Amino acid sequence: VKVPDVEFFVNLGDWPLEKRKPPEKLHPIFSWCGSNDTRDIVMPTYDLTEVSLDMMSVQANTGPPWEQKNETAFWRGRDSRKERLELVKLSRAQPHLLDAAFTNFFFFKHDEALYGPLVKHVSFFDFFKFKYQVNVDGTVAAYRLPYLLAGDSVVLKQDSPYYEHFYSNLQPWQHYIPFRSDLSDLLDKIRWAREHDQEEYARLQVTEAKVREGMERVGQPKDDLFPCNCHRSKV
């Protein structure tokens, strides 16, 4: 393919920008996220290209065996969308089904008294101590999704107009359990997953293998990798 002499634009913000439609001339804008009403060229996110959270580390830290994982659905994050406020409300109403809490307030600081208090940050690896991971949009698509898919937990994903570069390869009920954008059926989907525990575990094994295809399993260093041989005097 021969590309003419043309300038490309890289959008460093979250939201996709190109809203023109053919036959209007479209700007060649590269963005980390696309949406149903925009025409940006979607590229891998900075998380995947800069490897701020290593995919290889995720696949080596998937928590305890399935039978020992907590059956509660899990979510942690900040208040970057109203649906996330609703998620915390659902958690308070049904804590035996859903454990969702904010680690930071920014967009809805005036509501912190209603949806707080804040909880401590949880290591991403500790997410996989839970069988079910809830993926809800932030300002745009939640960029944690590829890491959740690589882990050893079942993902429940919100219906969304936003997408990352790989979403076209995903199939609902194959790679994740879908739920409505307004979260109105989320608790029912969690109940369904728990009632079909072994079926979901079997499906997860197939999905996880496909997500990790081409990856090399990387073990994590042990604490004794750099042993201390110094001779300290007793106090």
Does 108 share its domain with 157? Answer: yes
Q: Number of C-alpha atoms within 13 angstroms, CB side, residue 74? A: 19
Does 104 share its domain with 205? Answer: yes
Does 62 share its domain with 38? Answer: no
The residue written with tokens 């989907």 in the block is 189
Does 4 share its domain with 67? Answer: no
**In which element (H, E) is residue 90 found?**
helix 82-93
- Report cis status (omega within 30 of 0) of the bond before 146: no
Inside any domain, residue 155: yes
Does 203 share its domain with 88? Answer: yes
Q: What is the CATH number of the domain that holds 65?
A: 3.40.50.2000
What is the reported pLDDT for 235?
46
Inside any domain, residue 230: no
Inside any domain, residue 206: yes
What is the reported pLDDT for 141?
96
Does 105 share its domain with 187? Answer: yes
Number of domains in the chain: 2
What is the reported pLDDT for 233?
54
pLDDT in tens, 125-150: 899 999 999 999 999 999 999 889 98
What is the reported pLDDT for 1?
82
Does 80 share its domain with 130? Answer: yes
What is the reported pLDDT for 34?
97
Query: Would you state the structure tokens that stand for residue 145, as one six-digit string?
Result: 């999704």
Does 35 share its domain with 60? Answer: no
Cα distances (Å, whole numbers) of residue 125 to 5, 53, 58, 83, 118: 45, 10, 7, 24, 20
What is the reported pLDDT for 224?
54
What is the reported pLDDT for 205?
80
Does 16 share its domain with 76? Answer: no
Please state the φ and ψ torsions of residue 228, each to the nearest 5 degrees.
-95, 120
Inside any domain, residue 221: no
Does 76 share its domain with 114? Answer: yes
* Domain ranges, residue 87: 55-211
Does 114 share its domain with 32? Answer: no
Inside any domain, residue 8: yes
Please tell me the distance from the alpha carbon of residue 141 to that of residue 138, in angstroms, as a whole number: 6
Does 195 share its domain with 115? Answer: yes
Low-confidence ranges of the chain (pLDDT < 70): 50-57, 59-60, 210, 212-235
What is the reported pLDDT for 60?
64
What is the reported pLDDT for 24?
86
